[in-house]
Amino acid sequence: MPKRHFRADDLLPSEITPRHVFEQRRRLLKSAAAGLAFAPGVDALAQAAGAQKLPGRQSGLSTMEKTTPYKDVVSYNNFYEFGTEKDDPARNAHTLKTRPWTVKVEGEVLKPREFDIDELLTLAPLEERIYRLRCVEGWSMVIPWVGVPLSELIRRVEPTGNAKYVEFVTLADRAQMPGLSSPVLSWPYVEGLRIDEANHPLTLLTMGLYGEVLPKQSGAPVRIVVPWKYGFKSGKSIVRIRFVEKQPITSWNRAAPQEYGFYSNVNPDVSHPRWSQATERRIGEDGFLQRKRKTLMFNGYGEQVASLYAGMDLKRFF
């Protein structure tokens, strides 16, 4: 579809979120007028809008596309720590304990520290950003994520000049995650970005979706969303962020380097060895009997991110 710039005032909440979420947000705004708008952490927000609610202000970075139904977003997931089938995470992730939760930030930074999940929620005003999510298997969704720019965390820890990459390490607890018994990957799950990718305004430190805290099967309580890359680049249930000088060895790149490159930008011209990436199906919208839709370069975010890769051979650095 044609690219365009979006402004926050282009978007009507009633058009892009379910009605019950929109109505809850209106109730929250009334509570905010009473002084609760920026109370610390999710607990105060929950008091204002009901348990598990996590509203964010509308972002001008959002797409105008139709959002994927909530029921599909929370029932069709890739989260191998809870099983390799798409319905395994929704069935098994109830064992995940998301409180207390901390994220340790270390490596090439001047101010290493450990963030409590409530601190992450108050790094900056929460935003709702409607992003496309494209997965390497050929399916896609459009999801209203809630979070803050990852750059806000990066700014606070002050990376040194040696920090060229950011490594994300996720929880690996066999008592909570039955999928860790599978040999499909080496655990814990590790992902990484170049530091300019991590600092890009689109990269979101994510704590919610559809105006609610992240469901456990979606990567609770905190994950990364990098909308121009395939979904597996967006690590879930993060416990450690490391700033490093050398490119980290990521989980899928370690498991199958011929299939999963470090960059993993959505590129319809680079086929997976076992299938084409030129087309995709939108979950909840495109049936199996319908013609697949064309995959967009950088998942449709080329205008914003193509300059990050100027001069690179994107077939070699896939």
Fold of 60-309: Sulfite Oxidase; Chain A, domain 2 (3.90.420)
Alpha carbon 185 to its chain's center = 20
- Residue 288 pLDDT grade (very low, low, confident, very high; cuts 50, 70, 90): confident
Angle at 117 between CA 112 and CA 122, to 5 degrees: 85
Q: How far apart are CA 247 and CA 165, in angstroms?
A: 6
Q: What is the pTM of this model?
A: 0.85
Q: What is the pLDDT of residues 217-265, one digit of tens each?
A: 999 999 999 999 999 999 999 999 999 999 999 999 999 999 999 999 9
pLDDT digits (tens, 9 = 90+) for 36-94: 333 334 444 333 333 489 999 999 999 999 999 999 999 999 999 999 999 999 999 99
| 140 in Cβ contact with 163 (< 8 Å) | no
Give the lowest-confidence range in 2-16, 191-205, 302-316. Answer: 2-16
Any bridge partners for residue 116, and if so which? 102
49 Cα distance to chain centroid: 23
